[in-house]
């Protein structure tokens, strides 16, 4: 009981920016692949500020936070945030000290994969992103090589 009160007192002494950054990290840790909308809603941080805080976490604390795109529809891009590397932050200690700041369960989890495990969907999405990058550059390289070969054939050799 005393330890919980000390933690609550300590977190009340933190700046608003620090509390926001901690709540972002805790939400992503507790709810991997949380959408930008849900993250903003549950942390009560406006979307532009949310993106700014994530950028500051990347630069100042070396936390590798990525947004994984799962699909794109007429309604927009669907995906969620995940943390690949915690940088200088100890995830377990963060959740132990500040996990109480965010809910353990959220009402509207991302509806991207209603029945499939999130891990396999993320792997498939990352693989397709990597494949898209490769297929976009390879045809361009092949076209350039074909043009050079055609140019060489067109020049008569004496």
Could you tell me if 66 and 108 lie in one domain? yes
Could you tell me if 105 and 143 lie in one domain? no
CATH of the domain at 27: 1.10.10.10
Q: Taking Cα atoms as reference points, which of 86, 101, 104 lies closest to residue 23?
A: 101
Could you tell me if 57 and 67 lie in one domain? yes
**27 in Cβ contact with 34 (< 8 Å):** yes
Strongest mean pLDDT among 3-12, 51-60, 125-134, 149-158? 51-60
Could you tell me if 108 and 75 lie in one domain? yes
Q: What is the pLDDT of residues 46-84, one digit of tens each?
A: 999 999 999 999 999 999 999 998 877 665 667 899 999
**Confidence at 151, pLDDT banded by 50, 70, 90:** low
| Residue range of the domain that includes 105 | 2-112
Mean pLDDT, residues 138-148 taken together: 66
Could you tell me if 51 and 85 lie in one domain? yes
- 5-11 contacts at long range (C-beta below 8 A, 24 or more positions apart): 7/97, 7/98, 7/100, 8/100, 11/97, 11/98, 11/101
Could you tell me if 101 and 119 lie in one domain? no
Could you tell me if 8 and 48 lie in one domain? yes
**Confidence at 156, pLDDT banded by 50, 70, 90:** low
Could you tell me if 30 and 45 lie in one domain? yes
Residue 65 tokens, joined: 């936070």
Q: Taking Cα atoms as reference points, which of 72, 67, 80 lies closest to residue 37?
A: 80
Could you tell me if 98 and 69 lie in one domain? yes
């Amino acid at each position: 009981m005393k330890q919980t009160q000390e933690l609550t007192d300590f977190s009340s002494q933190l700046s608003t920016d620090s509390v926001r950054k901690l709540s972002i990290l805790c939400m992503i840790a507790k709810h991997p692949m949380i959408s930008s909308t849900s993250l903003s809603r549950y942390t009560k941080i406006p979307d532009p500020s949310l993106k700014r805080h994530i950028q500051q976490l990347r630069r100042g604390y070396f936390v590798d936070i990525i947004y994984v795109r799962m699909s794109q529809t007429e309604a927009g891009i669907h995906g969620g945030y995940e943390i690949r590397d915690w940088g200088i932050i100890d995830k377990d200690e963060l959740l132990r000290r500040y996990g109480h700041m965010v809910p353990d369960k959220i009402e509207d989890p991302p509806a991207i994969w209603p029945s499939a495990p999130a891990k396999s969907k993320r792997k498939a999405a990352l693989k397709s992103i990597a494949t898209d990058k490769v297929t976009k550059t390879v045809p361009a390289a092949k076209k350039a090589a074909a043009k050079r070969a055609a140019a060489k054939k067109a020049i008569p050799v004496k």
